[in-house]
Amino acid sequence: MRGSGSSWVAQRGSNTVYSGSDMRAAVQAGIDSLSSGRTAKQRVLVEGSGTIAASARISVASFTLLNICGTIDVTGSGSGDMAPIYARGRTDIEIPHVTITGSPVYGMFFRDVDNLTLGQVDLRVTSGLGIRIDNHGRADRSNKVKNIRIGAVHVEGTSTQGVETYGVDDIRIGSVVARNVGDSGLLLNDTTNAVVDLVDAADTATGTGYAAFRMANRNGRIGDAYPTNIRVGQVIARRGGRGIFCVSESGGAVIDRIDIADAGNNSILIENCYNVNIAAVSGSVTGGGDVRIAARTEFANTSDVTIQNLTVTNSAIVENPCATNSVFRNNTLVNSRNSVCP
């Protein structure tokens, strides 16, 4: 596909499969022209920038590599699960590069899609959710989507989450850089066997209960246990709401390095979570809300949380109510309060 604005041509080899004014129609025609019943990826290259309505979407088929070397600007309003880049019940999709601006409902939406690879994704929008990957079309929600790879995401201006997963197993994320995101920069729900190199958030989740990095809804739970299977290299958070939030029977997580400053809510909140290791290598919390271990009565009490190697300045470490088998070691408090259970 080649085009700009309202002039688009899609060709497969020497055959023209679309010529007209609609970017969405051109890209869809290109995808639809690929070999039917294929079991190996075929490529679609988009050269140019254009607009797609928020009430429309490009539906990506299985075994498709879609590379968009330009910008999709989303216009108008939409509802439901509309997204300029969309797939449901598919497999083996690869999107090496895409830039999305405007007002989408979702920037990218993938439901029941296994073997998904996203490369460099740039979302600078004014509404909606950035990237959503889930398994919510399956009758058996324990059957997670598998083998998800995400390279580098810059997400800015969403009204809700930046990047969200729900019901995913085996995911690798290079980096999520979130700026002025309404809710979490990265939110993992009911997700297992995850490796995240970096979450870097600023002015994210301001005035909400979300966080730069959040784990929820039995994230990290395998069977009835919480073996270590969520590994995060670094979380950086500036201002906004919480820095890190683990909640609702989640756990099995190690976060190696932490750099949080001026959080508008708890800098770190571990609530009804199990086997969580905070600042396994190093960390700092400066100003803002406290580092807290807590619990609600509707879930089993928090247990096996380790907070270590953390320098806390002008803040506090608080444990309330008392958790089971909490470990605090090698922490340095500077003008900060330490209120943990004996």
Which residue type sits at 320? Answer: N
- Asked whether residue 58 is domain-assigned, the answer is no
Tell me what pLDDT residue 162 has: 98
Q: Report DSSP letters for 81-102, one per residue.
A: T--SEEEES-EEEEEEEEEEEE
Tokens 């922490």 — which residue?
A: 331
- Asked whether residue 277 is domain-assigned, the answer is yes
d(CA 3, CA 319): 58
- Asked whether residue 334 is domain-assigned, the answer is yes
In terms of residue numbers, what domain contains 334?
Answer: 128-339
Are residues 52 and 58 in contact, defined by beta-carbon separation less than 8 angstroms?
Answer: yes
Full-model pTM: 0.97
Tell me what pLDDT residue 258 has: 98
Give the side-chain half-sphere CA count within 13 A for 41. Answer: 18
- Asked whether residue 32 is domain-assigned, the answer is no
Tell me what pLDDT residue 185 has: 98
Are residues 36 and 62 in contact, defined by beta-carbon separation less than 8 angstroms?
Answer: no
Tell me what pLDDT residue 5 has: 84
Instruction: Give the pair of three-digit tokens for residue 332.
Output: 């340095």
Count the domains in the chain: 1
- Asked whether residue 276 is domain-assigned, the answer is yes
- Asked whether residue 96 is domain-assigned, the answer is no
- Asked whether residue 42 is domain-assigned, the answer is no
Task: Give tens-digit pLDDT for 150-185.
Answer: 999 999 999 999 999 999 999 999 999 999 999 999
Q: Report DSSP letters for 108-151, one per residue.
A: EEEES-EEEEEEEEEEEESSSEEEEEE-TTSS-TTS-EEEEEEE
- How crowded is residue 224: how many other Cβ atoms within 10 Å of its Cβ? 5
Residues of the chain with pLDDT under 70: none
- Asked whether residue 188 is domain-assigned, the answer is yes
